[in-house]
Amino acid sequence: MEKQDNLDNINQPEEVRVGVYVCHCGGNISDVVDTKAVVEAASKHPNVKIARDYVFMCSDPGQKLIIDDIRENNINRVVVSACSPTLHETTFRKALRRAELNPYLYEHINIREQDSWVHKGDHEGATAKAIRLTMAGVEKIARQDPLEPIVVNAEGHVVVIGAGVAGMRAALALSRRGLGVTLIEKSAQMGGRTRELDTVYPTEEKAADIIAQLEKAVRDAKVDVRLNSEVEAIEGFIGNFEILIKSADSKTAKARAGAIIMATGFNHYVPYEGEFGYRQSPEVLTLPEFNKLLTELPPSQKLTYKGREIRSIGFIHCVGSRQTEGIHQPQPDGKVNDYCSRVCCTSALHTIHRTLDRFPDLHIYDLYKDIRTYGRGHEDYYERASKRGVLFFRYTDDGLPVFTPPQKDKTATLTVKDVLTWNEEVTIPVDMVVLVTGMMPRNIANLITMLKLPIGADRFLQEVHPKLRPVELANNGILVAGTCQGPMDITECSSAAGAAAAKVSILLSKDTIEMDPFVARVDTARCDGCQLCLAECEYKGALTMAENRAKVNPALCAGCGSCVAVCPTRAINVAGWTLDQFDAMIDAIGAEETESELVPA
């Protein structure tokens, strides 16, 4: 492993002195990987001044080894080969900080989840892999300069776009945490689509009461509510957004905000003409249309519609949701809605109960693919429906129900191949059909373009990660709450809004915001001003030209690296992840030694 120090191409003001620390993780690593062999191989690298192995590097004594070496042996770069960086990268960065070394002069190599645990039967192979990966870490960190977190000023004010339940909840939570809030609502009133509902599952409260309470709280909290208003333009970046608001009467106003919460909600799926007879036969309605009919119906003994008495209704689930390519008609973008709209199963059953409460003699037929009454108390609606005589039929995409409109003296029918009775074809006479339509995102194309918001394959706004960062968008300082992110019910919208508000209030808790430094950086000495990188950047204002050199606005840069790949001189790189570092890692991984040459017998 004899190697030359070939770091002359980077500007290192001091000698690079790497410390390598190989963890046994009890025996999790050392039972498979020969950690002594890794230490020995690492020691041969000209920049590695100290290499040690230890039983638990993350323990206090383990961290102390590193801290002491930094203080006493002038170690100025650290590599720890241990578990996954997702567990302990921050632990060790903090240890470096305690030793007064820049925390970004640290590289974490995973030799547990991605080595000892997955190559148990091959000690030599696993050890050779650990050596190569550790050497790659050494090469990378040897080329790392100290990095400083990006610090921007933070405006203690938030703009929330959309005043449905999610937006109202978020605004209220933010305001209660002492932040100023502007709530921008396109329509003339707050409440969003919850306003369309009568009672709501699972609490059976009146939707109007929920909205009235929320509206009062929002007003009492002195949230700056802008009804009949939309965002006309947005400039700036995390901590310092400038939003131009335009009202329906064309008046404009400006708001400054440290963060933005998107809460623009959902649209109902609208069936195409002829989908299960929709818009061709008057007896076919969507669930929201039927809900409205039921709510507006004057007290009466009979359910009548367009002058006719309704004695039987068939509900068809999953209309506009869980579609299959080749079977269902795609949306204008060529894609079908393959996702589950989640709330419609329970809301259909909830509506069925509301209907039966008023018209107990009605015959109700429920045609479903799956019943997904997933939330607390939701299954109860399903069980009670069976007990009340609702007849359930299960269909698949291979045998979608067929609607036949009424003929002279015959009522309309639904024909279904019922999976529950081994595909028996059943024809059900019905006076009315209710299509249980799903959710689609609202058309917010202008905001998506203006802010470069990420959308998923389902066209809803897409969080950074569904589990790790569920309410953040990749755009720094822009968060998401409620059904603009995907189908949710009111309870889930409220949780999401609370989470987004909590994230924002942590972000804006101080006058400044500190962010990871992993954004693009330009070496002005290498940049020749060709501007190729500018054309690659999707984030407005992140990359501009200044004095004929590319210039990054770190607060606007998402750190994706799109610009890096096209720079002919390698002048632009993502800090902490430069191409020179990757090349050096590849050299270490690709190095010619065989397993047996690397690992002593």
Partner 1 sequence: MSGQNNNTKILLITTMISSYPGANTVGQARLQYSPGTYIIRVPDPVVFPESFYMRCFEKGIDGIIIMSSGSDCPYEGAYRRLSERVGRVYNRMKESGIDPSCLKLTTICTVCKAAFLKEINEMQANVIKARSTQKESAA
Ligand X SMILES: Cc1cc2nc3c(=O)[nH]c(=O)nc-3n(C[C@H](O)[C@H](O)[C@H](O)COP(=O)(O)OP(=O)(O)OC[C@H]3O[C@@H](n4cnc5c(N)ncnc54)[C@H](O)[C@@H]3O)c2cc1C
Question: 247 to 286, contacts with ligand SF4 by CB under 6 A?
Answer: none
Question: 432 to 471, contacts with ligand SF4 by CB under 6 A?
Answer: 436, 438
Q: DSSP string covering 260-312, please?
A: EEE---EEE--PPTTGGGTTTSTTEEEHHHHHHHHHHPPS-SS-EETTEE--E
Pick from 174, 263, 390, 558 the residue near partner 1 by CB under 8 A: 558
Element (H, E) at 209: helix 207-220
Which of these, 215, 217, 197, lies nearest to 206 by C-alpha position?
A: 197
Q: Site map for partner 1, 399-438, x if CB under 8 A? A: ----------------------------------------
The pairing of strands 439-441 and 266-268 is antiparallel
Burial class, 86, CB count within 10 angstroms (exposed 0-12 / middle 13-18 / buried 19+): exposed
Pick from 119, 169, 354, 372 the residue near partner 1 by CB under 8 A: 119
Question: 501 to 530, contacts with ligand SF4 by CB under 6 A?
Answer: 522, 527-530
Q: Does 174 bind partner 1 (CB under 8 A)?
A: no
Please say which residue, 132 or 353, places its beta carbon nearer to partner 1: 132
* Maximum alpha-carbon separation in the chain: 97
Q: Is 210 left (phi over 0), alpha (psi -120 to 50) or beta?
A: alpha
Structure tokens, 278: 């929709």
Residue 227 sits at the vertex; the CA angle it makes with 222 and 232, to the nearest 5 degrees, is: 110
Residues at the interface with ligand X (CB under 6 A)? 161-167, 184-187, 192-194, 197, 200-201, 230, 263-266, 268, 287-288, 291, 343, 347, 350, 442, 444, 447, 482-483, 488-491, 493
Q: How many CB atoms lie within 10 A of CB 307?
A: 5
Contact 594, 554 (CB under 8 A): no
Q: How far is the CB of 231 from ligand X (least distance, A)?
A: 6
Residue 47 sits at the vertex; the CA angle it makes with 46 and 48, to the nearest 5 degrees, is: 95
The contacts of residue 530 (CB under 8 Å, 6+ apart) are 568
Q: Does 328 bind ligand SF4 (CB under 6 A)?
A: no
Region near ligand SF4 per CB under 6 A, out of 125-133, 175-183, 318-326, 400-408 = 318-326
Q: Which does 129 bind (CB under 5 to 8 A by kind): ligand SF4, ligand X, partner 1, none?
A: partner 1
Q: Does 428 bind ligand SF4 (CB under 6 A)?
A: no
Please say which residue, 79 or 484, places its beta carbon nearer to ligand SF4: 484
Q: Does 350 bind ligand SF4 (CB under 6 A)?
A: no
Q: Does 587 bind partner 1 (CB under 8 A)?
A: yes
Q: Does 397 bind ligand SF4 (CB under 6 A)?
A: no
**How many angstroms separate the CA atoms of 450 and 336, rounded?**
26
Q: DSSP string covering 394-441, please?
A: E--GGG--EEE--BTTB-EEEEEEEGGGTTEEEEEEESEEEEEE-EEE
Residues that bind partner 1 (CB under 8 A): 84-86, 110, 112-115, 117-126, 128-129, 132-133, 136, 452, 454, 456-457, 462-465, 467-468, 473-474, 518, 536, 538-539, 558-562, 564-566, 574, 577, 579, 582-583, 585-587, 589-592, 594-595
Residues that bind ligand SF4 (CB under 6 A): 317-318, 321-322, 340-342, 344-345, 369-370, 372, 436, 438, 522, 527-533, 550, 566-567, 569, 571-572
